[in-house]
């Protein structure tokens, strides 16, 4: 955990609970030796590039948090530089809850999940929306998806403020069809090979059986 993440999330009330439950001293020691943690290093960048989805939390004018899932092909979230992420905001159900929340408060929290390996990367950042401004056309074109049916309404950039990795203790492993196929494909190949060998053996044995007269 970096110092910046602790600065943003370990408020006085949070520290009171840490003190009550005996973890405050542990985190104080970490804070003294931890890196700043306000830009993404190679491990974080590589992790994000291999994800096909993430969760994004924002806060509304009423103070209620709102969590939205965004998905796409691996790499749809781009690491533009160590302090900046970006993704194409495609046309959806037209509720625009997150978009309205950004007008109120640009701060967001992101969760990037790797369920098979029980890994979670948390990122805090500030959103920058490009839809009707002078930079929007070039950005939208640069994020153009391969699927021509997808309509990009805007590009959302996220300026990274802090990040943290979570322990895997309570992450339940789950697998996508693609991940299952990677595991099952060698098994299917081996099964086909065994079936072919079995068929060849049966044919050989059939030829060896004496013919009745």
| Dist CA 69 CA 56 (whole Å) | 6
Q: Which of 74-83, 105-114, 169-178 has the lowest mean pLDDT?
A: 169-178
Neighbours of 60 (CB within 10 A): 14
| Residue 148, pLDDT score | 78
Q: Can you give the pTM of this predicted structure?
A: 0.85
Mean pLDDT of the chain: 92
Highest mean pLDDT among 123-137, 145-159, 179-193: 123-137
Q: Which of 15-19, 40-44, 174-178 has the lowest mean pLDDT?
A: 174-178
HSE-CB at 67 with a 13 A cutoff on CA atoms is: 6
Work out the average pLDDT over 54-66: 97
Work out the average pLDDT over 192-198: 92
pLDDT of residue 85 exceeding 90: yes
| Dist CA 134 CA 169 (whole Å) | 46
Looking at per-residue pLDDT, the higher value among 146 and 7 belongs to 7
Work out the average pLDDT over 164-191: 88
Helix (H) or strand (E) holding 76: none
| Residue 22, pLDDT score | 94
Phi, psi of 74 (to 5 degrees): -55, 135
| Residue 40, pLDDT score | 97
Q: How confident is the model at residue 6 (pLDDT cuts 50, 70, 90)?
A: very high
| Residue 71, pLDDT score | 92
């Amino acid at each position: 955990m970096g110092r910046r993440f602790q600065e943003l999330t370990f408020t006085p009330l949070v520290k009171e609970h840490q003190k009550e439950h005996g973890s405050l001293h542990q985190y104080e020691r970490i804070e003294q030796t931890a890196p700043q943690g306000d830009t993404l290093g190679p491990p974080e960048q590589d992790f994000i590039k291999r994800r096909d989805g993430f969760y994004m939390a924002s806060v509304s004018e009423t103070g209620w948090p709102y969590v939205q899932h965004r998905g796409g092909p691996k790499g749809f979230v781009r690491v533009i530089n160590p302090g900046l992420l970006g993704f194409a905001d495609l046309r959806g159900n037209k509720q625009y809850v997150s978009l309205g929340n950004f007008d109120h408060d640009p701060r967001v929290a992101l969760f990037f999940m790797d369920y098979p390996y029980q890994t979670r990367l948390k990122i805090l950042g500030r959103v920058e929306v490009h839809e009707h401004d002078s930079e929007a056309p070039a950005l939208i074109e640069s994020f153009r998806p391969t699927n021509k049916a997808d309509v990009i309404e805007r590009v959302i950039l996220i300026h990274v403020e802090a990040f943290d990795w979570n322990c895997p203790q309570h992450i339940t492993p789950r697998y996508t069809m693609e991940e299952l196929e990677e595991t099952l494909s060698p098994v299917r190949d081996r099964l086909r090979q065994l079936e072919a060998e079995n068929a060849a053996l049966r044919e050989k044995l059939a030829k060896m059986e004496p013919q009745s007269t």
